[in-house]
Chain A
Amino acid sequence: DAGITQSPRYKITETGRQVTLMCHQTWSHSYMFWYRQDLGHGLRLIYYSAAADITDKGEVSDGYVVSRSKTENFPLTLESATRSQTSVYFCATTLTTGNNQPQHFGDGTRLSIL
């Protein structure tokens, strides 16, 4: 039962570079999410997706792009990385709609932008 796999776990890159963070789930959950976690800000939603080919912006989507061509994959791309995007990024899934469903999280990608 692999669940949610995020890769890489750690990444160091330079400002201006493009970087893609991968998220793969084995559960076939409909809903997928990307969050960033920063000290003093808690968790902030970047993008979410209700199904393949359906994505929506969260509260901090500027500078990020997502795609979801397959149900199980939800990559997050930083098109031109900036130092302010240094953070820990978490992918999450939810089985179905309805407000009694919990989220399931990956172990995160720690991204440093120099």
Chain B
Amino acid sequence: GDSVTQMEGPVTLSEEAFLTINCTYTATGYPSLFWYVQYPGEGLQLLLKATKADDKGSNKGFEATYRKETTSFHLEKGSVQVSDSAVYFCALTAGGSYIPTFGRGTSLIVHP
């Protein structure tokens, strides 16, 4: 079946540091890939997505590129802020299904 693997957290960074959160996947066909963010006490919200190989999704300074050859969709941000502290989920939908497969989530803690 489909699966998503994310790096385990927590990831702890100082403000203005560079962020990478790794995400790799296995899926049938050509999946669509998503990153969601969950702030404390809230539900998940879409951060960015990419629907075909080599697409780059971007939002709020975050970027991720759909790499079919390495089956990866790593999340990056050049300079994190304290307000980016949250849990980040990588997810995919594939094979015409509307039911996503989520990774376990990666907690990010940014210190001033």
- A residues engaging B (CB < 8 A)? 4, 31, 33, 41-43, 45, 48, 50, 90, 92, 94, 96-108
> Known contacts A42-B103, A100-B93; is A94 also within 8 Å of B98 by CB?
yes
Q: Which residues in A have their C-beta under 8 angstroms from that of B104?
A: 41-42
Q: How many A-B residue contacts, CB cutoff 8 Å?
A: 60
Chain B residues with a Cβ closer than 8 Å to the other chain, count: 25
Q: Which residues in A have their C-beta under 8 angstroms from that of B36?
A: 102-103
Report the Cα distance A102→B103, complex, angstroms: 15
> Known contacts A42-B102, A43-B89, A94-B98; is A100 also within 8 Å of B49 by CB?
yes
Report the Cα distance A96→B98, complex, angstroms: 8
Q: Which residues in A have their C-beta under 8 angstroms from that of B96?
A: 97-99
Report the Cα distance A41→B104, complex, angstroms: 7
Q: Does B112 contact A (CB under 8 A)?
A: no
Is there an interface contact between A108 and B43, defined as CB atoms closer than 8 Å? yes
